[in-house]
Amino acid sequence: MSGSAETSALVRHFRQIVLWPLQLVPEKHTGKIQRHWVHFSALAENNRWVEAREGARGDSQEGQQARYREFVTFLPFVQRFLYGSGVGFGQVSRDAEPSTHLYRREDIAGARVTYASGVAATFVVTNVALYFFLDTDTVVLAFEMSTDDIPLPLAQETMFRFGRAYPGFWENGDGAHCPRLVEWLDAGGSVLAASDYGDQQRYLDHVATHRAPRLSAHWRYLLEPLQPADSRHSERLRFRPLEYYRMPFMAYLAVDDPAALSRADFARIAHASAPGDHEIGPFSEPALADFESAYCEDRYFGRVRGDETSRTRIIASGRVLAMVGRNGDPLFNGRMTGLFAQFRHQYFLLFLIAHFHRSALLSMSDQLAVAMNRLEVGDTESVKQFKRSIRQATEIFLRFTHRYWYHQISNQDLARSLFQRTRQHLATQVLYDEVRQEMMDMNGYLDSDSLRRQANTVLRLTVVTIFAMIGTIATGFLGMNLIAAADDATLSRVTFFVVVLVVTALLTALTIAKSRSLAELLDTLSNERMGWRERFAALRGARRRRRAPL
């Protein structure tokens, strides 16, 4: 671990919340609204997750106050999204059900992280949660851990290395940029699961076999009974990663003197970079020229209150939302009204919503790509399946737009600013526009295909009508009856009826089968720019072309 002596300041309280958005793979796609948590709850084997009822009346007074402040931070439509509109009033109808469903597991009490240098640190795990969202194939894992009195370089090392689903490559037998070892601990300190970043051959073999990366063993254990998409357990609810193997995270760092942190230190926090020299940034100076304006929310940084100057800095870079402030400052450390309480509640949900937007849009884009890959233009059944898939995807996108797609989630200045910064760095608006354009393009194709088929049907009906009109006029002229069988025996009349019906049906079927050629004939005859000799010559030429061998 590198770094000068100046960076040996202690982080009096360090807290990290890792988010991991995942795409769920349903057993089959239907047009119905998806409630994946119902299937998840039905999985009994190795299921240590329990549905949590946030804001229950049995919570402590402090917990209820925290939930209340969290609730009133958001605008009403976001409140309905997060909490529903009937919580606390008996059975919630489906019209009023919340769009998020939360599951927790309590068996993991600690995380021991061993770094590449051999140094190990043990963290207290305070929250392990799964967030399911109504009508989307998306689930988000939240993992929160904390510790006290940790050196700043070690905190930077944790933000840099922890939260990697699998190694990008290997160095000296260890997964590069990953911890050497991550262990989940129970309340007694026993190891429940451990990472296997260093098992290089297993990762290589998995990619060669499944064409998908292998997830580290400790993350797989954490998500059970959810199984990776390449798992043999097809009866389980399965998932696949949506993005880069580095997970987005939130970080809270309470230090003795935030002014002791250099611009390079803040840049490393914003970009989750490895620790380094206190005075040298992780990137070149031109790359960091707009660092403060692009990433830093400094309304409390340098604010004078009486004899004290606040040094609280909030950093939002899309993949990272971090708060750095002075330990002991009520504004920063307040357990009830300070940024610490808001970090775990309001701003966590803000960060969660922003990443949920991105993951849901990526999931829908992936579904469109899968539907297009399965399309075989010459296969009628494939075309029908493609149309059904696109129409279902369009319905899901419309419901997502009206249920979840918010440009603002709060009227509080700080929350609004952080949400806008996070959305901007994640480029969710650009992604939304791209998915919307893809939907419009595919629906345009379906509409044009439907119009083409309708036009073809109208053409065939027109040809049949024209040629049927000739026989109708010829046989019905002046009420003429070619065969006077009105007084014949019943059997004779039935026979005549059946024969005429069969002949008429055959002629109609033949006319429909040849409707394209007959339409060309009618088009040639109706061309007023051609003389009759030219018209007949064109008809003879067309007839010879049709008879010519392929």
Q: What is the pLDDT of residues 9-68, one digit of tens each?
A: 899 999 999 999 999 987 665 556 778 888 888 887 778 999 987 654 446 677 788 888
Top pLDDT among 475 and 240 is at 240
Do the bridges between strand 138-151 and strand 191-194 make them parallel or antiparallel, or are there none, so unpaired?
unpaired
CB 245 within 8 A of CB 213: yes
Instruction: HSE, CB side, 13 Å, CA atoms: give it for residue 113.
Output: 23
Average pLDDT over every residue of 249-265: 93
Q: What is the pLDDT of residues 141-154, one digit of tens each?
A: 999 999 999 999 99
Dist. CA 134–CA 101, nearest whole Å: 8
pLDDT (0 to 100) of residue 420: 94
Q: Which of 121, 80, 125, 82 is nearest to 106 (CA)?
A: 125
Q: Which of 293, 295, 195, 314 is nearest to 250 (CA)?
A: 314
169: three-class secondary structure by DSSP: coil
DSSP element (H, E) containing 17? strand 10-25
Least confident of 252-256, 381-385, 455-459: 455-459
pLDDT (0 to 100) of residue 478: 52
CB 162 within 8 A of CB 18: yes
Q: Which of 21, 38, 217, 209 is nearest to 131 (CA)?
A: 21
Count of beta carbons in the 10 Å neighbourhood of residue 301? 19
Strand partners for 308: 305
Q: What is the pLDDT of residues 184-197, one digit of tens each?
A: 999 999 999 999 99
Buried b (16+ CB within 10 A) or exposed e, 252-277: bbbbeebeebbebbbbbbbbbbbbbe
